[in-house]
Each structure stands twice: as C-alpha cells, then as structure tokens.
Amino acid sequence: MKKKILVVDDNMINRKLLCKILQESYTTIEAENGRVALELLEQKREEFSVILLDLIMPEMDGYEFLEVQQRNKELSMIPVIVMTGQEDDATEIKALSLGASDFLSKPYKPEIIKHRVANTIKLRENAAMINRIQKDQLTGIYNKNYFYERCSELIKDKPANAYDMICTDIERFKVVNDLYGTEKGDELLIFVANVIQNLCSPEEICGRIGSDSFGILTPHKETYQDAYFTDIIEKVNHFDINMQLTLRFGINNVEDVHLPVNVICDRAMLAADPIKGKYDVHFSFYNDTIRQQMLTEQMITDNMQKALDEKQFTIYYQPKYDITTESIAGAEALVRWIHPINGFMSPGEFIPLFEKNGFITQLDMYVWEEACAELEKWQKAGHEMVVISVNVSRMDIYNPDLPDIIAQIVKKHHLQPKNLHLEITETSYTENPQQLIKTVNELKRRGFLIEMDDFGTGYSSLNMLSELPIDILKLDMKFVQNEAMNPEGKNIMSFIISLAKWLDLTVVAEGIETAEQVRMLRNMDCTYVQGFYYAKPMPSDEFEQLLLTTPLTEMVAAGSKIVSMTPKPKRKNITGKIMMIVDDIALNRTILAETFLDYYYIVEAEDGQQAIDYIERHPGEVSLILLDLIMPRMDGFQTLEYLKKNRETANIPVVITSIAGEKSEERALKMGAADFISKPYTPSVCVRRIENVMASEKMKGLEKNIREV
C-alpha cells in the first residue's frame, strides 16, 4: 500500500502540481488551508506519513497550523515539510523552530521534492524504530539493553570510579499488582519512571532494568544525602494509591570499567538487599562485606555437589523436652556441613543459598534418608522409638512428588510415617498457600504429622492456622525470647498458646535458653520445648547416649479435657489450697492462673461438667472456684446451682467471673455466689477480692465454731 501524503496549500494549481509529482509513489490528499488539514488529520491521523505545508493561506496559515499540530502529542509525530516562496532564511528558520522537519522552496523541482519527501519519511521511520529499540514500551525511559549499552559507552570513556550506579526497586510491587490489578501496577511503573527521569540531570542517564527496578548512572559522589532519596520516595508517594510506597536504593561505585553493566547493576541491587524492610534506611553501598559474601557463595555453589557425594553433610539431633516430666519427647534433625578445609558450617551459612539455587531439594532428601537410616538403626538395636522431625524446605513444597518421595524413604527403612514429623516453615504458606495446603493434606492423608516451624515470624499466622491441617506449632525462638523479655508481650504469647490448644494443636517452644523462660512457659501451659537450656544439637552417637539415660515420652496432641490436672509447684505465699478456674476460653484461664499462681495450686476446667467431675473425684480438695457464667455444655448458673444444692460442695466459695455491669451478677449472688470479678481483669483487684472472700469465709468458719462450742 502506498504511503499517504497530505498536501496543504490554498493555491489549487500548486496542489495539483505537487500531487502530480508525487502520485507515482504516494497517495495524496489535499487540503486548502490549515483548518481543513486539521479536520482531515483528526479523522485519520495515523495514516499520513508526511505533511507538505504552505505557509501563507487564508483562514488558518501554516504557522498557526504548526503550533496546533506540535502541541498535540500524536499529531506532532507526523513530519511536516514547509513550502516557502523563495530562498528566505528568516521564514525557514521560523518554520523549523516551530517544529517543521524540512522545507522546500518554489519553484518546485520534481526530483528534489521526491527526494526530500522520501528522506523525511525514512528519517521518521528510523526514529520510530530507534525509539522502539531504545525505549521501554511501557514507561518510555531507556529499556534495559539500551541503558546497559549507553552506560557501557559512558563508563569506558572515563577512568575508574568516575561513575556510581544507583539501582532501586519498588518494595512489595507484587502486592500492588495483586491488590489493585496490573493496570494500576503499570501506571505506578510509569509514574516512578517519570519521577526518576525528571530527577536526572544531563550528565546522568536512567533506565528500566527489570519489571519494577530502575537504574541511574550518575557521576561519582563521595557522600549521598538521605534527603536525595527520601525526596524521590516522597514524590513517588504522590501516586494515587491507598498504600505506602517504598523504594530502597543500592549504590555501586564503578571501580572496574570493564565489568559488564548488568553485573554492576546486580551488585548495586545486592547492596539494597540488607536494608529491605528497614523503614528508616533508604540507601546502602556495595562494599567489601557484600563482595566477600558473594565469593563465599560462589565457593559454596562450586563445592556443594561434591560435598553431598562425599557425605560431608552430617546430621545433628536436638532433643525436644516435655517440661512437665523433663523427658525427651522427640528430636529435630539439623544438618551441618563439615568441610575438609573450611571446617564446621552452620545451616545459616548455606541453607539460604541452597534455597536460592535449588540445591536444597537434594540436600533435604539426603537428610531425610539419613534420619530414617538412624531411626532404623535404633529400632534394630531394640531401643525405644523416638520421633524425629526433619525440615522440609519451602522449595520442596513445589515438588508434586514430595509425598511419594518421603513415603518411599520411610518405607525403605521399615518405619511408620508417624515416626517422622515434618517441619514446614511458616513462610511457605505466605509464598504459595494453595500448593502448601494441597501438599500438607496429602502428607497428612499418608499419616505424617506436620509441625509448623518458625511460627510467629510470618504475617499470615492466624489465617493459616484455620486453613492448614497441621498438628504441632513451633513457636519461633525470636518470638519466645522477645516475649520473655517483655512482660506485656507475655499476653500475646499466652494467647497464641491458648489459641493453639483451642485448635487442638500441640505447641513446642523453640530457642529456650533460660530457666526463666521455662518457668514462664510452664505457667502458660506449654508442655514441649526445644532449646540450649536443655540440650544443643548433637551428633547422633551423643544423642543415642542421651536417649539411653533419659526417660522418653510420646508427644501428644493437645486438647485434653481438663487442661491442667496436676497442681503446679508454686512460689511465694502458696497456701497449699487448690483454686479451680472454670472458663471455656483458655486465654481467660491463663490470665487468672497467672494472677493467682503465687497463692494457690491451680486447676483449670473448660466447663461446668468438667469442674464438677474433678471436684467429685477429689472431695474436699478444692477450696475456691472462679466460675465463668457463659460456657457451652454446662454454664455457670447450672454449675452454681448444682454446687450449692449438693452438701459436699455447698460450702466451696464460688466467685463469678463476668463482663462488668451485667444483670447476671445479681442473679448469681442471689444463688449463693460469694462475689464476682469483672473482666477485663486487673490483677491487684482480683487478688484483693479473693482475699476478702477468703477472709469472710474464715470468719464464717470461726462463727460456726463459736456457735458449736
């Protein structure tokens, strides 16, 4: 198809002449002035490859036309050749300055006209193509390849250290796409690209180097002001979205001018990694530590396969203890790398890398295999069986054959699935919940027990608990350690423990290092712990010795009917009396138990029926009952009624625990309750109220004695 040319001239003869010259190679359309030309363009703007424009015309002259045409982004893409009456420098310069591409002077010489038109079209097409090659289609700034190319030229032109590469990406960009749609995501990218481009001075260049990442090559500076970066972040946050946007900047001073630009950018990006998620640090430099880390990573990658083949990986075992009986309830298999030159390496040094490069799946299989072999050995030696838990990396979850693989290993070593617990880290859920739910269901179906590792570190915790059929919750050690230090946090922790109990999950607290932590966990009714306080991870022979000298216990699922039947050893003013706390909500029980721990042995029950069962089986032992009114099965009123009409129990003082200001309190007092404590509980008020109740009970007793004397 022939290209179209728009010929704009008020002189009909001129128009016909031009059309005649061009018609052989082009389709021509005529307009007798600027206004008509604009109307035509309005209708079919993309169709014209070039506009031939006379300057002097009635209605709308050439200058006016150029002004309007150049202001319109799309129209301005069509090149304009201006036709001037004679060689007139001033006119030509003015036309060119208004945006014309070229000019032709009358009288028309056909060959020159054809030549100039062809040239102009070619030039514009080249420009469009170059644009496509150089510019990122979405954002309009340099694309990755062209940015790298330009950087490479600039860098090689100057000595080392002349430039810095600054790279950045939009934190949680994926969330923007997920929550607001990709269209909004695209808009954000365009917005950020604009902010960055506007910031660039003529000595700097910028480009889009990844889906949501950008690079800026800038003349080297010794120092950077935080304001430079916070200013960019502030501008980016003008984007219309209901979410705080953050960028982190990594800076790499270009020392080696021969390094490929993509490597220079990778390193700048790497520099930003450690500050991700820190809200008050906005930029960071690529330095020796990061370089060293890269070299170490390289060394590990080069050696890992050989290490696996040569069995340089060893399994250590760390026992899990039941703190009520101080017996061993299981152990976790933890891998160690004993390198012939580098010596002992902790998983923290290589697991994150293996997770990145995928090697973890091989290593994990090796560990499962070794752990099962060890179990088989113990079984053959006639030892009592202990449960071993192995770690299952989030990478393993992606493998659809995972359940088959584990099941086969277990079978090969003549074990039952219940001998092997699988620890899955919480972050697997955050990354791919659907896949994880599917895998866990399948593993459960085959009889494996699932432990949720590092619970408390992710964001999805509570949501996850309702969706995943897990058996055991491992409270992350940072969580345990922080909470122990911070008394207010104890409530959160005891809440999680109560919640877990409520969901029938066993809780194992990880990273227990002190007696204080153990004491706190005992009070919170957490039975199982793993930590240096009891034992560090140890080689298998040591663990075997330990097993032979320590009692073993089976780790049971929680949700036993009466949560704690054994009176706990207490501290300060312990009276030797038993207080029974009856409440269906574990957290409430825990708070009350915590409050009275210093004064009573505590027994807890989940409803009236359980409470009465216990009291009848232990006549005369319970000296005080804290009774919640609203409970399933047998509520507080029914319980109170039963207790009061029964001779053996009528004298046990019952203190009602209820929401403040409820009518029901009056009713309960009429029914014989001694007093009430209202929620939310204030420890000092609770203690005082109970002191009063007990004092008045004593008085009653005295009065009775006096009367009887």
Residues that bind ligand C2E (CB under 6 A): 318, 334-335, 346-348, 351, 360, 364, 367, 391, 393, 423, 453-454, 477, 510-513, 530-532, 537
Q: Which is nearer to ligand C2E, 188 or 390 (CB)?
A: 390
| 205 within 8 A of 216, measured Cβ to Cβ | yes
Q: Which does 360 bind (CB under 5 to 8 A by kind): ligand C2E, Mg ion, none?
A: ligand C2E
> Whole-number minimum distance, CB 496 to ligand C2E, in Å?
17
Q: Which does 675 bind (CB under 5 to 8 A by kind): Mg ion, ligand C2E, none?
A: none
Give backbone dihedrals phi and psi of 583, rounded to 5 degrees, phi first.
-160, 140
> Whole-number minimum distance, CB 514 to Mg ion, in Å?
18
What's 581-641 look like in SS3?
EECCCHHHHHHHHHHHCCCCEEEEECCHHHHHHHHHHCCCCEEEEEEECCCCCCCHHHHHH
> Whole-number minimum distance, CB 433 to Mg ion, in Å?
19
Could you give the count of Cα atoms lying within 13 Å of 621 in the half-sphere of its Cβ? 17
Residue type, 112: I
- The binding track of 143-182 with respect to Mg ion, each residue x by CB under 5 A or -, is ----------------------------------------
Q: Which is nearer to ligand C2E, 456 or 511 (CB)?
A: 511
DSSP secondary structure code for residue 534 in this structure: T
Q: Which is nearer to Mg ion, 348 or 382 (CB)?
A: 348
Give backbone dihedrals phi and psi of 23, rounded to 5 degrees, phi first.
-65, -25
Q: Which does 28 bind (CB under 5 to 8 A by kind): Mg ion, ligand C2E, none?
A: none
| Full DSSP string of 160-174 | TTSEEEEEEEETTHH
Q: Which is nearer to ligand C2E, 148 or 316 (CB)?
A: 316
> Whole-number minimum distance, CB 535 to ligand C2E, in Å?
9
| Tokens 């520099």 belong to residue | 271
Q: Which is nearer to ligand C2E, 149 or 369 (CB)?
A: 369
Give backbone dihedrals phi and psi of 205, rounded to 5 degrees, phi first.
-130, 155
Question: Rounded to 5 degrees, what angle do the CA atoms 60, 63, 68 make?
Answer: 75
Q: State how far the alpha carbon of 700 is from the alpha carbons of 58, 157, 654, in Å.
A: 116, 99, 15
> Whole-number minimum distance, CB 172 to ligand C2E, in Å?
24
Q: Which does 205 bind (CB under 5 to 8 A by kind): ligand C2E, Mg ion, none?
A: none
> Whole-number minimum distance, CB 458 to Mg ion, in Å?
12
Collapsed DSSP state (helix, strand, coil) of residue 27: strand
| Tokens 């409970």 belong to residue | 631
In the structure encoding, which two tokens stand for residue 651, read together? Answer: 């004298």
In the structure encoding, which two tokens stand for residue 300, read together? Answer: 């590990």
| 543 within 8 A of 317, measured Cβ to Cβ | yes
Please list every residue from 501 through 530 that binds Mg ion, using CB under 5 A: 510
Q: Which does 334 bind (CB under 5 to 8 A by kind): ligand C2E, Mg ion, none?
A: ligand C2E
Q: Which is nearer to ligand C2E, 461 or 575 (CB)?
A: 461
Q: List the beta bridge partners of residue 207.
A: 142, 215
Q: List the beta bridge partners of residue 677.
A: 657
Q: Which is nearer to ligand C2E, 344 or 459 (CB)?
A: 344
Cβ neighbour number for residue 616 with a 10 Å cutoff: 11
In the chain, the largest separation of any two C-alpha atoms, in whole Å, equals: 142
Q: Which does 439 bind (CB under 5 to 8 A by kind): ligand C2E, Mg ion, none?
A: none
Q: Which is nearer to ligand C2E, 479 or 614 (CB)?
A: 479
Q: Which does 351 bind (CB under 5 to 8 A by kind): ligand C2E, Mg ion, none?
A: ligand C2E
| Full DSSP string of 421-468 | EEEEEHHHHHH-HHHHHHHHHHHHHTT-EEEEEEETSSS-HHHHHHHS
Q: Which of 586, 584, 623 is nearest to 601 (CA)?
A: 623
In the structure encoding, which two tokens stand for residue 446, read together? Answer: 């085959």
> Whole-number minimum distance, CB 492 to ligand C2E, in Å?
20
Q: Which does 367 bind (CB under 5 to 8 A by kind): Mg ion, ligand C2E, none?
A: ligand C2E
d(CA 331, CA 327): 12
> Whole-number minimum distance, CB 530 to Mg ion, in Å?
8
Q: Which does 475 bind (CB under 5 to 8 A by kind): ligand C2E, Mg ion, none?
A: none
> Whole-number minimum distance, CB 623 to ligand C2E, in Å?
39
> Whole-number minimum distance, CB 493 to Mg ion, in Å?
16
Q: Which of 256, 284, 254 is nearest to 270 (CA)?
A: 284
In the structure encoding, which two tokens stand for residue 97, read together? Answer: 């300055």
Write the CB contacts of 671 (distance below 8 Å, at least 6 apart in sequence).
637, 640, 641, 644
Q: Which is nearer to Mg ion, 334 or 631 (CB)?
A: 334
Q: Which is nearer to Mg ion, 136 or 370 (CB)?
A: 370
Could you give the count of Cα atoms lying within 13 Å of 156 in the half-sphere of its Cβ? 10
| 445 within 8 A of 469, measured Cβ to Cβ | no
Q: Which is nearer to ligand C2E, 14 or 427 (CB)?
A: 427
Q: Which does 486 bind (CB under 5 to 8 A by kind): Mg ion, ligand C2E, none?
A: none
Q: Which does 140 bind (CB under 5 to 8 A by kind): Mg ion, ligand C2E, none?
A: none
Q: Is 364 in the site for Mg ion (CB under 5 A)?
A: no
Q: State how far the alpha carbon of 421 is from the alpha carbons of 10, 253, 500, in Å.
A: 90, 49, 18
Q: Is 391 in the site for Mg ion (CB under 5 A)?
A: yes
DSSP secondary structure code for residue 418 in this structure: G
Cβ neighbour number for residue 445 with a 10 Å cutoff: 11
> Whole-number minimum distance, CB 181 to ligand C2E, in Å?
35
> Whole-number minimum distance, CB 480 to ligand C2E, in Å?
9
> Whole-number minimum distance, CB 272 to ligand C2E, in Å?
25
How far from each other are the two terminal CA atoms of the chain, in whole angstroms? 125
Q: Which is nearer to Mg ion, 391 or 639 (CB)?
A: 391
Consecutive H or E run containing 297: helix 288-309
- The binding track of 444-473 with respect to Mg ion, each residue x by CB under 5 A or -, is ---------xx-------------------
Please list every residue from 405 through 424 that binds Mg ion, using CB under 5 A: 423
> Whole-number minimum distance, CB 529 to ligand C2E, in Å?
9
Cβ neighbour number for residue 412 with a 10 Å cutoff: 12
> Whole-number minimum distance, CB 475 to Mg ion, in Å?
9
Q: Which is nearer to Mg ion, 105 or 314 (CB)?
A: 314
DSSP secondary structure code for residue 281 in this structure: -
Q: Which does 619 bind (CB under 5 to 8 A by kind): Mg ion, ligand C2E, none?
A: none
Q: Which is nearer to ligand C2E, 435 or 638 (CB)?
A: 435
Q: Which does 387 bind (CB under 5 to 8 A by kind): ligand C2E, Mg ion, none?
A: none
Consecutive H or E run containing 566: none
Write the CB contacts of 673 (distance below 8 Å, at least 6 apart in sequence).
627, 640, 654, 655, 656
Q: Which is nearer to ligand C2E, 331 or 591 (CB)?
A: 331
d(CA 17, CA 140): 41
Q: Which does 374 bind (CB under 5 to 8 A by kind): Mg ion, ligand C2E, none?
A: none
Q: Which does 346 bind (CB under 5 to 8 A by kind): ligand C2E, Mg ion, none?
A: ligand C2E
> Whole-number minimum distance, CB 347 to ligand C2E, in Å?
4
Q: Which is nearer to Mg ion, 396 or 423 (CB)?
A: 423
Instruction: Write out the residues near Mg ion by the rule CB under 5 A.
Output: 391, 423, 453-454, 510
